[in-house]
Amino acid sequence: MLKSYLTKSKVHPAPLAVFRIVFGLLMLVALIRFWTNGWIYSLYIEPDFHFKYYGFSWVKGLGNYTYLLYSSCIIAVVGIILGYRYRLSIILFFLLITYSELIDKTTYLNHYYFTSCIAFLLCFLPAAHYFSIDAIQKEKSIDAIPSWMVDGIKLFLCIVYFYAGLAKINSDWLLEAQPLSLWLTSKYDIPLIGEILKYRWVHYAASWSGMLYDVFIPFFLLYPKTRSIAFVFVILFHIMTKIFFPSIGMFPYIMIFGATIFLDVQWHKNQLEFLRKFAAKFSQKFNFLKLKLTKANVLFKPKQYILPLFISFFIIQIFLPFRYLAYPGELFWNEQGYRFSWRVMLMEKKGYTTFKIKDSINQKTFYVDNADFLTPFQERQMSFQPDFILEYAHYLANHFEKQGHQNIQVFADSFVALNGRPSERFIDPSTDLNQEIESFKHKKWVLPLKDEIHGL
């Protein structure tokens, strides 16, 4: 059955074309917003020092050329939207946006990672073989593609939701209503509903419904009879998250518009027909697209390697979020295996970490003012994430060795509070971090959380 699905089942290319256009438009807005908010400068140019993903220290900041990178991204996105030189555009977009994310892991967000993943998948999909400038120019269009090519996108969205839901099945989220209790209480200034956000029952209701939504929405979106109502829920849910948490930026829109891929093929055809009529007002050439809306049975034949590639991608996606099981200790505390796992808005963590530098030759010790080296944003992220703390400790050791100090030892004085618990000492203050090496191994110098969080 699976074999016949993979080889025989086919679907109209309209949903993929709509997805390409929608994704491109979202990226266009996101890029312009990123630029106009001044974040290219403040996140990628201003910092003297960038935190690197393990194994990606070769990715360098580009200074003012970062603007060139983002300009190229925007041009590539326009290519994606129009379906003009699509293959080149999407590959360029994927490489450039991923490169910029790799410059500094301080900026890591699940939806940036999501963006890169989608862009990666789109590199291999025939999203511009239909309803695109490319199709008009080649005077060649298709009207059927293998189902798995559209279903792959759906599967990926389902994984995002489902894993985000599974991550919420823990004692803090469900039994303590944390961190929502902390977050919602402080949203007293939201008009109309702000008044009720201080009540405990609201925190519990929000926590439980958030978990149930994430776990079950993929199934309701997949099942035809519940699809429409599920989509309404998608819209409502993400609007609520945008109201409560304005700082989540583009994420709600990406999820809402991304979920249109689940809608019926007819809906997508209608959108494209609407677009075609609009475009035809400017150029008769676009009427070419109309023809292909009605002609039948030109099936797109994907290259041999794409299906195995997709299968590998999904195997990684399914197992990667569980890598935390390989580490001892509390995931939220140690954050070993936390990223790239769709743990979205899951915890409230605040830290205060300062570094004691000891010149062990002349026994001189002093504390570092983090503001001399890090932006406030970097300092905040560094203060509660062990891999940041280690990387920064090495950077400091290097810096002070260059200044002429010898046999430098670096000790962290670090306190972290998680989900409303009292702050606890986070890093073993007797560990010379300059002697510790970053790796995928368990970081023994992170002191254990004096509490247990149960659940997945």
Single out the residue of 19, 148, 162, 231 in contact with another protein (rule: CB under 8 A): 231
Report the candidate in 430, 433, 336 with the shortest Cα–Cα distance to residue 394.
433
| Options 78-86, 234-242, 311-319, 332-340: segment touching another protein (CB under 8 A) | 234-242
Token pair recorded at residue 298:
């030109």
Scan residues 98-157 and list those touching another protein (CB under 8 A).
107, 109-111
| CA distances to 106, 123, 253, 388, 398 from 391, in Å | 12, 33, 34, 5, 11
β-bridge mates for residue 365, sequence order: 358
Length of the chain (residues):
456
Instruction: Examine residue 39 and tell whether it contacts another protein (CB under 8 A).
Output: yes
Residue 254 as a binder of another protein (CB under 8 A): the answer is no
The verdict on 365 binding another protein (CB under 8 A) reads yes
32 near another protein (CB under 8 A) = no
Q: What is the 3-state secondary structure (H, E, C) of 94-151?
A: HHHHHHHHHHCHHHCCHHHHHHHHHHHHHCCCCCCCCCCHHHHHHCCCCCEEEHHHHH
Q: Which two tokens stand for residue 331?
A: 């995931």
Distance CA 334, CA 406 (A): 31
The region of 62-70, 93-101, 283-291, 367-375 touching another protein under the rule CB under 8 A is 367-375
Q: How far is the CB of 124 from another protein (least distance, A)?
A: 27
* By the rule CB under 8 A, 359 interacts with another protein: yes
Taking the C-alpha atoms of residue 98 and residue 92, their distance in angstroms, rounded to an integer, is 10
Pick between residue 171 and residue 365 the one whose CB is nearest to another protein.
Answer: 365
Q: Of 420, 435, 442, 448, which lies in the binding site for another protein, with binding defined by CB under 8 A?
A: 420
Q: Does residue 285 belong to the site contacting another protein (CB under 8 A)?
A: no
Site for another protein in 3-22 (CB under 8 A): none
CB atoms within 10 A of CB 362: 9
Which one of 8-16, 86-94, 185-193, 217-225 is the stretch in contact with another protein (CB under 8 A)? 185-193
To another protein, the closest distance from the beta carbon of 129 in angstroms equals: 25
DSSP annotation of 89 reads H
Alpha-helical runs (H) found in 345-442: 376-382, 386-402
Q: Give contact residues for another protein (rule: CB under 8 A).
A: 29, 37-39, 42-43, 107, 109-111, 182-183, 185-191, 198, 200, 228, 231, 235, 239, 242, 245-251, 253, 256-257, 260, 263, 266-267, 270-271, 344-345, 348, 350-352, 359, 364-369, 375-377, 379-380, 415-417, 420, 422-423
